[in-house]
Amino acid sequence: MENPLQLKCLNHISLVCRSVEKSVDFYQNILGFFPVKRPGSFDFSGAWLFNYGIGIHLLQSDNPDSMPKIGGINPKNNHISFQCESMALLEKKLKELNIEYVTSGVEEGGIRVDQLFFHDPNGYMIELCNCDILPVTPLPVDSIHSSCSLTNRNVRRLRQQEQQVQLQ
């Protein structure tokens, strides 16, 4: 698989917040992130947190009242997903914290993945799952669906590039 931009890993996500303080409390005390030093040269309010190999950069909204209202929990919306060890423990903890959530699941090849979705204080959806039990299986180039951005012409171009690399 080609890596044209020489990417290494996900570094961080940035989230615009109604309240950085409430968001720090949530990401620290609910999801286990810890605050890290943020460059002092920024001229806007925010906070940086880190854990699990990724950073979360919280940015204070210039106009919190104009941020979208928090809607219902829909697993098909944009979300951040974290793998966990015990779905039962998670569900128990969220009930104790009185955090509204929905459960879902997916099954493939006899393997069931359990999912739990809820919102952070800003309405960003969080998924907690045992997704690591589902194998990551790369698709052959021939099976890329037409809904993907790669067209047949791009697939042919990629194959040609792979062949050229193999010949070198």
3-state SS track over 77-126: CCEEEEECCCHHHHHHHHHHCCCCCEEEEEEECCEEEEEEEEECCCCCEE
How much is the pLDDT for 141? Answer: 75
142: tokens are 């021939």
Residues 103 and 49 in one domain: no
58: domain CATH number is 3.10.180.10
| Residues 49 and 104 grouped into a single domain | no
Asked whether residue 158 is domain-assigned, the answer is: no
Catalogue the active-site residues: 127
- Residue 22, both tokens: 């409430």
Q: What is the mean pLDDT of residues 108-116?
A: 93
In a domain, 147, yes or no: no
The pairing of beta strand 79-83 with beta strand 125-129? parallel
Q: State whether 9 and 47 are in the same domain.
A: yes
Q: Which of 64, 84, 119 is the last residue of a domain?
A: 64
pLDDT band for position 23 (cuts 50, 70, 90): very high
pLDDT in tens, 52-86: 999 999 999 999 999 999 999 999 999 999 999 99
Q: What percent of the chain has pLDDT over 90?
A: 76
Among all chains, which residue has been given the structure tokens 């952070």? Answer: 120
Distance CA 114, CA 104 (A): 6
Domain that holds residue 77: 71-136
Q: Provide the domain count of the chain.
A: 2
The model's pTM is: 0.79
Q: Are residues 126 and 101 in the same domain?
A: yes
Is 27 a member of any domain? yes
Tokens representing 164 are 């050229």
Work out the number of other CB atoms within 10 angstroms of the CB of residue 62: 9
Give the domain-ending residue among 64, 88, 111: 64
Whether 38 maps to a domain, the answer reads yes
Q: 93 and 75, same structural domain?
A: yes
